[in-house]
Amino acid sequence: MLPLNILQYLFLLFLLVGNVSGVGVNYGTIGNNLPSPKKVAQLLQSTLIDKVKIYDTNPAILEAFSNTGIDLIVAVENDLVANISGDPSTAEEWFTSRVSPFIPATSIVAIAVGNEFLTTSEQLDPTTLAPAMQNIHSVLIARGLDRKIKVTTPHSMAVLSSSFPPSTSTFAPNLVPTMTSIVEFLAETGAPFMVNAYPYFAYRDNPSRIDLQYALLGNSSGVSDPKGFKYTNMLDAQIDAVRSAINAIGFGNRTVDIAISESGWPSKGEPGDMAATPENARTYNTRLIERGDSNRGTPMRPKDSIEVFVFALFNENKKEGGASERNFGLFNGDGSKVYEVDLSCKFCSVTEGKLGFGERVSGGPRGASVWCVAKPHADEKVLQAVLDFCCGPGGVDCREVYGSGACFEPNKLHAHASYAMNAYYQMHGRNYWNCDFKGTGLVTFSDPSYGACRYPQQ
Ligand SMILES: *[C@@H]1O[C@H](CO)[C@@H](O)[C@H](O)[C@H]1NC(C)=O
Ligand SMILES: *[C@@H]1O[C@H](CO)[C@@H](O)[C@H](O)[C@H]1NC(C)=O
Ligand SMILES: *[C@@H]1O[C@H](CO)[C@@H](O)[C@H](O)[C@H]1NC(C)=O
């Protein structure tokens, strides 16, 4: 067990921040010197990285991440989108052969349909994207997996016709019909709008006009938007530009979360690229990780925290394009760090071990034992609403807290709500936002079970 003072500390911390966040990373594999997926899974278990996004459904990776407590986002490759779009049975087949064999041991929480599908140079039909997402979603509904596994698609910033000033940004006119279908789908299914955003490229191509600190997620003196928002860094401005474009197609009062599916900074570029240095990469990625691990929003939506996937886990030596493309990694192929960046997990391991391949890390696998309960002095009105929600539309089986159930006693709203909140949290993939419940939920490391009343774990 953890010493009491640590528990108290964690408890206070959760009380203060309200939820636990984590950081995602993109695990690309276009290299001939990369470690085995098993080694990668081991490495990541000792870090604050709790979500891994891949670009396919590589079975070795899906297998390696089973029972690790790390969530995976898998992808439908661009060249499969048209076929899946045209034929529901192709979607079914894809899911059955690529994903089904690995769940639930591997926690797959999202399927990215295509990558930058609407803006790649390949000849791809934009009208196939939304129906492909819908067909995959239908497969999930049929299997009762649609709550656990979200369907989305990562875009590049090039889907915007302009990104500045952020409040006036819109999607490129030719993409509006497709974007409208996609955003509608995301709003209905509760999936995030994913965008790949790289202040690095903007700075690299315009170093004399852009403040380096503004690009590096620093505290630049700021850029003002005509609507009064003030931006101290470019990534925030990019996120709000996407927000405005979404609002402009008429979804202003519906919630669509924005997630940064890729962002990063290379440690090396072409000769003459002054931006791509290990120092800048370290600065950007350190701040990006800090940002992903915090609950901060953007000037337009200060309270909506932004999920972040760092690009990328490894330098990929076989990637095409300029030198920077092969140097976005936090790690080299041999598992050593490209530069010093702190990935230690403040929540999942008491003793911080040294990170890196071949070094033993103390502390067990992260995420194995974690529950969600109601905060001690949570507002009863909210708790009642939460209980009604969980046991109704939330889909929790609440028989244990009724009548003769093992968790009926103590017959207290707080206890019943805790049970339902935990069941909901476990069922929905244990994302920190699944234990928010309007600020009444609390993530805990001690098992709230008592007597015959067992709080389920994922
Ligand atoms: C898509 O379907 C067509 C027709 O069945 C097939 O010829 C083609 O190989 C498929 N494409 C992919 C990428 O599987
Ligand atoms: C920016 O300033 C805020 C408030 O002064 C501070 O909390 C934060 O750490 C600074 N961020 C960076 C990246 O310097
Ligand atoms: C959203 O906005 C539209 C148009 O302004 C309005 O008709 C609708 O009632 C609003 N919906 C909600 C849920 O607020």
- pLDDT over 50 at 352, yes or no: no
By the 8 A CB rule, do 339 and 352 touch? no
- pLDDT over 90 at 358, yes or no: no
- pLDDT over 60 at 87, yes or no: yes
Cβ of residue 77 lying under 6 Å from some atom of ligand 1:
no
Question: Distance between alpha carbon 88 and the CA centroid of its chain, in Å?
Answer: 27
Give the model's confidence band at 10: pLDDT under 50 very low, under 70 low, under 90 confident, else very high.
Answer: very low
Average pLDDT for residues 357-376, to the nearest whole number?
A: 56
By the 8 A CB rule, do 47 and 29 touch? no
Nearest CA to ligand 2 atom 1: 219
Instruction: Write down the pTM of the prediction.
Output: 0.74
Average pLDDT for residues 51-63, to the nearest whole number?
A: 98
- pLDDT over 70 at 347, yes or no: no
- pLDDT over 70 at 389, yes or no: yes
> Counting atoms of ligand 2 from 1, which one is nearest the CA of 218?
13
- Probe target for ligand 2 pocket from 213, 219, 285, 295, with the most ligand atoms within 8 Å of CB: 219
Give dist(CA 356, CA 203) in Å, integer.
31
Give the model's confidence band at 40: pLDDT under 50 very low, under 70 low, under 90 confident, else very high.
Answer: very high
DSSP letter at 450? Answer: B
3-state helix, strand, coil in the chain (%, to 5): 40, 15, 50
Nearest CA to ligand 2 atom 6: 219
Domains contained in the chain, CATH given: 4-11+19-326 (3.20.20.80), 371-444 (no CATH)
Distance 251 CA to ligand 3 centre (A): 9
The ligand with the least distance to the CA atom of 288 is 2
pLDDT at 21: 54
By the 8 A CB rule, do 102 and 62 touch? yes
Task: For 97-134, write each residue's pLDDT tens digit.
Answer: 999 999 999 999 999 999 999 999 888 999 999 999 99
With tokens 């503004």, the residue in question is: 214
Cβ of residue 80 lying under 6 Å from some atom of ligand 1:
yes
Mean pLDDT highest for which of 222-236, 340-354, 370-384? 222-236
pLDDT at 58: 98
The ligand with the least distance to the CA atom of 294 is 2
More confidently predicted of 298 and 17: 298
Determine the Cα angle at 318 with ends 129 and 327, to 5°. Answer: 90
pLDDT at 2: 45
- pLDDT over 70 at 349, yes or no: no
Tokens representing residue 393 in the block: 């539309």
> Counting atoms of ligand 1 from 1, which one is nearest the CA of 82?
1
pLDDT at 360: 31
Q: Which residues are catalytic?
A: 116, 262
Q: pLDDT over 70 for what percent of the chain?
A: 89
Task: For 429-457, write each residue's pLDDT tens digit.
Answer: 777 667 878 778 887 777 899 989 999 88
Distance 329 CA to ligand 1 centre (A): 34
Nearest CA to ligand 1 atom 7: 83
Classify the phi-psi angles of 358: left when phi > 0, otherwise alpha if psi is within -120 to 50, otherwise beta.
Answer: left
- pLDDT over 90 at 368, yes or no: no
Tokens representing residue 424 in the block: 């909901």
- Probe target for ligand 1 pocket from 76, 78, 83, 85, with the most ligand atoms within 8 Å of CB: 83
pLDDT at 253: 67
